[in-house]
Amino acid sequence: MPIAGDRVPMFKLRPYRGPLIAASLIGIVGGLLSAYFFIEDAYLPRNRGLITLIVTGILVIALVISAYSRYVFRHLHHRRPGYKRG
């Protein structure tokens, strides 16, 4: 891939790694915690398992959206080799 002047070519965009790792950890811990609360709710009628599952789902979805946020306006991040802003 030729490099024009001092500009660096843009490679393939990747999602942010930190929020994806956090989403997977929160998903695993929240899933296990809600499973424990579902077992506990079988003896006492409380909805802690369902509430924990909903909160975990919202957090995981928010982190996945933030990890893939750079794909929203991908056409604005692309620098064409012959295009100079002036």
Closest CA to 74 of 25, 31, 22, 15: 15
- Rounded to the nearest angstrom, the gap between the alpha carbon of residue 33 and the centroid of all alpha carbons in its chain is 21
For residue 55, give the H/E element and its range: helix 48-67
What's the distance, CA 23 to chain centroid? 6
Tokens found for residue 4: 């024009």
On the 0-12 / 13-18 / 19+ scale of CB atoms within 10 A, 41 is middle
pLDDT of 14 over the 70 cut: yes
**pLDDT value for 42:** 80
Higher pLDDT, 6 or 29: 29
Q: What is the pLDDT of residues 37-73, one digit of tens each?
A: 999 878 877 889 999 999 999 999 999 999 988 777 6
- Residue 15 corresponds to which tokens in the numbers above? 């999602």
Query: Which pLDDT band holds residue 23 (cuts at 50, 70, 90)?
Result: very high
